[in-house]
Structure 1
Amino acid sequence: MNKKTAILVFANSSKEELLHKPIIGGEKLFTELTKKTIAVVENSGIPYFISTEKDQHGKTFGERFVNAIQTTYDLGFENIITIGNDTPHLRKHHLLESARQLENNKFVLGPSVDGGFYLMGLHKSQFSLSTFLKLPWQSKNLAKSISLLIKTAKIEVAELEVLQDIDNPEDLKSICRLSFTFSNALRAIIYHICHSPIEIPKYTEILKYNNHLPSFYNKGSPLCAV
């Protein structure tokens, strides 16, 4: 395998995730998801870096994510595979296939159900800091916009299967309807959240929630502690 390929795990701490993804029981969920994601990454044998809110630089999600990619390239890597911690069905074969496609000079995209992506793989020659900053981050048109950008540059795009990531409670319900092919601990947490009675918030809390609720669309997905 190309030793110049690295995985960038763009994943905040559980407490930070809850500020943007208000899921009841979410702290245990995101802690277990991160644990599961790191296990998959380590099993791939590809060098990796984890970026949390402590390492990120920028005011917006797009700035923090794009800056993390640039930071990883600055370490000397030629190919980067970026992922988050919110895709339970991510497997080692997704990472290995991405690395293989990168060696064939392709741009790799793993689309998520919401229109974002759970994985993006690219060579440094395919990356432009200024161009990527202009992409519609955290919108349902993100994956489509990236594909169009890359295809316009006459670079072949290799798309992985579409997977469900977790950005809100509805996504978790969708996960519950899929086959549980994860650890017993993660399966138990997801099942418990999906089947727990939901408390009806007070009217004032509903107003506060609606006025301050951030966009749930992923980057997909998905910064660099060295």
Structure 2
Amino acid sequence: MNTLHTTAILVFANSAKEELANKSIPNSEELFDKLTQNTLLKAKKTGLPTFHFTDKDQVGSNFGERFTNAIATVFEKGFDNIITIGNDTPHLKTQHLKKTAKQLALGKTIIGPSVDGGFYLLGLQKNNFDVSKFEKLPWQRYSLYSHISTWLQSESSELIKLPVLQDVDNEKDLRSLLLFSKTLSTSILLLIIGLLRVKLGLFHKKYNFINLLSNRCFYNKGSPEISFVYYPPYPIIG
């Protein structure tokens, strides 16, 4: 089955200004701008049609209604499957999206759990999408993953679970991301460090330039090592 003609990616992500109003991270507009740019780039690398619904495009009086309406709108464009993601999971990779598309083509449903009890990715088939039931799920609550997993298992032949990833809602989440700083893009890492106002003078750890940018397409040989500040799990906040 050619998933290019049957599957679309929905990036359900507010504008950076709106994210700043809703997230518990002061001065984070630049970070969410960059997260959205990176997410859209990863989606487009799959070759799948990609639709970005910001707060200006969303319709509904609450999150559940807005999210449900966005999914329904993409399905109405003629697609059989949807992969929906947000912009707040820096460790989401293009390979997660490609794997999801392949599993959807096999008739399976896919979910990517978040650390906070929600999800960062959902791969849905049109024939498993019930608008009324979807709207009534406990959106933006810690029990969401449990409820939606139970519902999806009852609706689909098989539910595939992706690795658990950290999303970004507050400063505590930013600190957690620093535990895996080597797998973050350099631009995102530096923005997180700036937002946390981590004090220098801890200690340094050298990262090989190519390894740090392992997802980039640099082919120059013998790139020099560069020194980055390494921060412990709980940075000192000034």
TM range, smaller chain: 0.7 to 0.9
Deviations 1:50-103 (Å, cap 9, x if unpaired)? 000110000000100001000000010110000000000000110000001101
Helix, strand or coil: the match of 1:108?
strand
Q: Say whether the 8 Å CA contact 2:181–2:189 is kept in structure 1.
A: no
Higher mean C-alpha deviation, range 86-95 or range 184-193: 184-193
Shift of 1:49: 0.2
| CA–CA separation in structure 1 for the residues paired with 2:156 and 2:26 | 44
Q: Which residue of 1 aligns with 2:157?
A: 155
Q: Say whether the 8 Å CA contact 1:5–1:47 is kept in structure 2.
A: yes
| CA–CA separation in structure 1 for the residues paired with 2:156 and 2:90 | 32
* Backbone CA RMSD of aligned residues: 1.2
1:23 correspondence with 2:25: yes
User: What is the TM-score when the length of structure 1 is the normalising length?
Assistant: 0.84
Greater than 4 Å deviation, 4+ residue runs: none
Deviations 1:93-125 (Å, cap 9, x if unpaired)? 100000011011111000000010000001000
Shift of 1:154: 5.1
| CA–CA separation in structure 1 for the residues paired with 2:195 and 2:162 | 29
Alignment of 1:45-194 (within 5 A): 45-153=47-155, 155-194=157-196
Q: Say whether the 8 Å CA contact 2:20–2:27 is kept in structure 1.
A: no
| CA–CA separation in structure 2 for the residues paired with 1:19 and 1:74 | 31
Query: Is the alpha carbon distance of 1:58 and 1:160 closer, same or farther for their aligned partners in structure 2, counting shifts above 3 Å?
Result: same
Amino acid at match of 1:162: V
Instruction: Report which of the two structures shows the higher radius of gyration computed on alpha carbons.
Output: 2
| CA–CA separation in structure 1 for the residues paired with 2:9 and 2:123 | 9
Shift of 1:196: 4.4
User: What is the TM-score when the length of structure 2 is the normalising length?
Assistant: 0.80
Helix, strand or coil: the match of 1:81?
strand
Amino acid at match of 1:87: T
Helix, strand or coil: the match of 2:75?
helix
Q: Say whether the 8 Å CA contact 1:12–1:51 is kept in structure 2.
A: yes
Q: Say whether the 8 Å CA contact 1:111–1:162 is kept in structure 2.
A: yes
Q: Which residue of 2 aligns with 1:38?
A: 40
Q: Say whether the 8 Å CA contact 1:176–1:194 is kept in structure 2.
A: no
Q: Which has the higher contact order (CA 8 A, sep 6+)?
A: 1
| CA–CA separation in structure 1 for the residues paired with 2:112 and 2:83 | 10
Q: Say whether the 8 Å CA contact 2:80–2:125 is kept in structure 1.
A: yes
Q: Say whether the 8 Å CA contact 1:12–1:53 is kept in structure 2.
A: yes
Q: Which residue of 2 aligns with 1:14?
A: 16
| CA–CA separation in structure 1 for the residues paired with 2:31 and 2:152 | 34
Q: Say whether the 8 Å CA contact 2:117–2:142 is kept in structure 1.
A: yes
Helix, strand or coil: the match of 1:22?
coil
**5+ long unaligned stretches in structure 1:** 198-226
